[in-house]
């Protein structure tokens, strides 16, 4: 991770196909295309990759979440349960629909705690969105049981976890709807892009129409298409899809490299008594895009991250004070700093969020360090990195 590290001839060929015919839009202009339909081809490849009946490409991972929720009928006044540790896009995508983000604790998987989800359900709850942060998953069986018991829509945000599996199924394919991001720093990149996947034909039809201004995409004359319901513009372009089409065919290659590099680092850190690792639920295999480990306390984690920086070890973070990924610093959300008026229900929830305590999440995020696994590392570089990380951790803990 990320896939741009290994751009090559495959990506160039697919992009040049689009430039040669000049059609950058995914719909229409049939006669000019010379048979090239990159978005349609990528959707077909992703159906196989995700073992899913339906795939709808969109413009981003954020768009994927909004489109997925809208496709299931989630909107104004509906509560959507989400984790305290994610990317700001999670609550942005929920609030875009007028729905209410309800934040709950994570556990040692660094994802949604099923018990916290159960405790947060109200008569307004309509969906639960699990976010597979940093390449691994939650207790999916437990979460699905909760959703089924309360008749809730179950949504997987697998934007950071392409290539991971749970009980043999690709992450993203287990819930009612799955969401992916193909932005510039993802394992599979389109530059910008995303996807909604589902086995529900009604959700798919809704996603297909909603993401393109409500067009029904019936027939070959775009101007003659009808609009069964309101929609918006979340289309992906043919250029972006072309890059993704090349990248998806290299996914197994990328995951194998990630696993190899991850394993070298993990094996080295496992020799340190003070280091423990995030829990991967039974039956799960992470994507190896990140190595996540815990230290005894927040102070130790902060010391280690600073020592890493001093010694040139990049792409390792403690998210406790991060304002992109963890609730503690989401002041713009808590203070409801919006360019447009928010509903009274959303403002009420955000006001409560200001004083809400997430001690369990603090316990895990404060002690966690997350390290990106790069595809471009040479074998000797990984070995040296492992040795340096071990040395830095020991120095920081013993200082």
CB neighbours of residue 160 within 10 Å = 25
Q: Which of 152, 156, 151, 159 is nearest to 175 (CA)?
A: 156
pLDDT for position 205? 98
Kindly give the residue spans of alpha helices, DSSP state H, lying in 83-186.
89-95, 114-120, 140-150
Show Cβ contacts of residue 318 under 8 Å, excluding neighbours closer than 6 positions: 298, 301, 302, 304, 305, 365, 366, 368, 369, 370
Q: Give the model confidence (pLDDT) of 217-250 as tens digits.
A: 999 899 999 999 999 999 999 999 999 999 999 9
pLDDT for position 1? 84
* Torsions phi, psi for 240 (to 5 deg): -65, -45
CA distance 10 to 16: 10
pLDDT for position 399? 82
**For the stretch 269-293, what's the b/e string if a residue is b when 16 or more beta carbons lie within 10 angstroms of its beta carbon?**
beeeebbeebbbbeebbbbbbbbbb
CA 300 to chain centre: 28
Q: Please, which residues bridge with residue 79 across strands? A: 100, 125
User: In the numeric block, which tokens belong to residue 283?
Assistant: 């039956």
CA distance 227 to 351: 38
Q: Strand locations in 173-302, DSSP E?
A: 177-181, 194-198, 276-277, 284-285, 290-294
Side-chain half-sphere of 358: how many Cα atoms within 13 Å? 26
Q: Strand locations in 90-183, DSSP E?
A: 100-104, 125-131, 153-157, 165-166, 169-170, 177-181
pLDDT for position 81? 99
Q: Distances from the Cα of 241 to the Cαs of 44, 58, 199, 257, in angstroms?
A: 12, 10, 22, 23
Q: Give the SS3 label for residue 83.
A: strand
pLDDT for position 385? 98
In the chain the domains, ranked by start, together with CATH numbers, are 3-250 (3.40.640.10), 252-398 (3.90.1150.10)
CA distance 360 to 182: 31
Q: Which of 247, 268, 128 is nearest to 182 (CA)?
A: 247
Residue ranges, the chain, pLDDT below 70: none
User: In the numeric block, which tokens belong to residue 255?
Assistant: 């995951």
CA distance 299 to 260: 30
Q: Do residues 180 and 47 touch, judged by C-beta distance below 8 A?
A: no
Q: What share of the chain is helix, strand, coil (3-state, %, to 5)?
A: 45, 15, 40
pLDDT for position 44? 98
The model scores a pTM over 0.95: yes
């Amino acid at each position: 991770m990320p896939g741009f590290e290994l751009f090559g001839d495959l990506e160039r060929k697919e992009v040049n196909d689009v430039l040669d015919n000049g059609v950058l839009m995914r719909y229409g202009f049939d006669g000019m295309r010379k048979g090239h339909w990159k978005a349609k081809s990528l959707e077909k490849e992703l159906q196989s990759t995700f073992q899913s009946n339906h795939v709808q490409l969109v413009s981003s991972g954020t768009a994927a979440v909004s489109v997925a929720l809208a496709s299931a009928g989630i909107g104004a006044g509906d509560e959507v349960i989400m984790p305290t540790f994610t990317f700001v896009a999670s609550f942005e995508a929920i609030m875009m629909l007028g729905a209410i983000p309800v934040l709950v604790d994570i556990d040692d998987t660094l994802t949604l705690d099923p018990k916290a989800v159960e405790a947060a359900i109200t008569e307004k709850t309509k969906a639960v969105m699990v976010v597979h942060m940093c390449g691994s998953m939650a207790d999916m069986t437990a979460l699905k049981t909760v959703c089924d018991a309360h008749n809730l829509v179950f949504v997987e945000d697998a934007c950071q976890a392409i290539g991971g599996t749970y009980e043999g199924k690709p992450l993203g394919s287990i819930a009612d709807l799955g969401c992916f991001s193909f932005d510039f720093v993802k394992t599979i990149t389109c530059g910008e892009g995303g996807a909604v996947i589902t086995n529900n034909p009604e959700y798919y039809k809704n996603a297909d129409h909603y993401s393109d201004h409500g067009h029904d995409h019936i027939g070959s004359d775009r101007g003659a298409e009808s609009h069964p319901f309101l929609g918006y513009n979340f289309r992906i372009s043919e250029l972006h899809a072309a890059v993704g089409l090349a990248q998806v065919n290299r996914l197994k290659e990328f995951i194998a490299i990630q696993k190899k590099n991850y394993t070298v680092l993990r094996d080295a850190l496992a020799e340190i008594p003070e280091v423990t690792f995030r829990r991967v639920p039974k039956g799960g295999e992470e994507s190896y895009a990140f190595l996540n480990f815990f230290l005894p306390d927040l102070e130790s984690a902060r010391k280690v991250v600073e020592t890493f920086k001093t010694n040139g070890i990049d792409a390792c973070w403690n998210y406790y004070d991060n304002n992109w990924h963890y609730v503690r610093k989401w002041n713009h959300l808590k203070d409801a700093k919006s360019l447009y008026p928010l509903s009274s229900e959303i403002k009420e929830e955000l006001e409560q969020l200001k004083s809400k305590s997430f001690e369990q999440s603090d316990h895990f995020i404060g002690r966690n360090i997350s390290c990106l696994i790069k595809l471009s590392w040479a074998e000797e570089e990984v070995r040296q990195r492992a040795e340096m990380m071990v040395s830095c951790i020991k120095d920081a803990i013993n200082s």
